[in-house]
Amino acid sequence: MRKFLILVLSIMLVCLILTGAYIAVQLSYIDHKPFSLQKEVQRLKEYLGIVDGSPEESATGVTNILLLGIDRRTTTEVSRSDVMMIASIDKKNKQLKLTSLMRDMYIPIPDKGSNRINTAYQLGGPALSIKTVNTNFDLDITRYAIVDFFALEHVIDIIGGIEIELTPEEVELINLYIDDLNRLDETDKRSPYIKDAGTQLLDGRQAVAYTRIRYTKGGDFQRTKRQRTVLDTMFKKLSSTSKLKYPDLLASILPYVETNISRSEILSLGARIATFKNREILQYRIPVDKTFKEQKIRGMDVLVPDIDENKRLLHEFIYGR
């Protein structure tokens, strides 16, 4: 199955910095789903599971966005979210943060019983995904961004590939995924195998293959780390990309994006991030080590977290308390 990381933070925010009027035109290509913009505050909170006492953006200065990578082959296909991440823009401390949510984490899904967290999207789309995260971890997320598996390869090729350090074990496995992706491609495009370990310049398809590697020591935990590594590497490269290349990059990216973030807010967030001197993305993962149990429930291998402890640690990471 085609599965890989969706680098929405880079796509939605970094690429929109310093592109002026061109952005305003190109933003018309984004598929807006403004459910959060059409409901008054109280109904919105109930709709998205924001409970009283949750940290509020107006007080914390932190904007949280749920990033969803969807494993779908057509726009009408119903699928699970292969990747779930929380992008946190800390405007007070001028810092970007990224939290991976393990897809096998077994938690309550509002009105649907307990299941793997990635099932929320299949059962109720982005709204239920947001509500699931908010109700379990006391967050105030109202925004989301989604792209499917068509985007990442193309975007990385546009920016000229990314450099990733590979272990010998990863080289052996990445080639299996490259071979699989080459077979699935109905065009004549083929990406070559990686021959050596060490730092390698990966094209889009090779990078997609890298994000799919799972069966190494650490399993899916290492997989989510690879996803964050690719995101961080891409972010840094985009930050140093010539502004002259932004129009082509935007034209390629925007048709793939589904979001409920307004056009004016995308511009505002991009302009704010442009003022951040620190280009490092702080990274985290939920559930945290030693805060969950591996169990088999209804035939599924799942991670059952200590929700209260993970909530505390997540708040500490995002809000610094």
194 touches 181 (CB < 8 A): no
Burial tier of 92 (Cβ tally within 10 Å: 0-12, 13-18, 19+): exposed
> Residue 88 maps to which CATH number?
3.30.420.590
Establish if 182 belongs to a structural domain: no
State phi, psi for 158 to the nearest 5 degrees. -60, -40
Establish if 101 belongs to a structural domain: yes
Establish if 51 belongs to a structural domain: yes
Establish if 48 belongs to a structural domain: yes
Establish if 257 belongs to a structural domain: yes
pLDDT tens track for 155-211: 788 788 999 999 999 998 999 989 888 887 777 788 999 999 999 999 989 998 898
Q: How many domains does the chain have?
A: 1
174 touches 210 (CB < 8 A): yes
Domain with 60 in it: 8-151+253-319
Q: What is the 3-state secondary structure (H, E, C) of 233-293?
A: HHHHHHHCCCHHHHHHHHHHHHHHCEECCCHHHHHHHHHHHCCCCCCCEEEEEECCCCCEE
3-state secondary structure of 303: strand
Establish if 108 belongs to a structural domain: yes
pLDDT tens track for 298-318: 999 999 999 999 999 999 999
Q: In this predicted model, which residue has the larger pLDDT, 9 or 295? A: 295
Report the C-alpha gap between 255 and 30 in whole angstroms: 6
pTM of the model: 0.76
Establish if 120 belongs to a structural domain: yes
Establish if 216 belongs to a structural domain: no
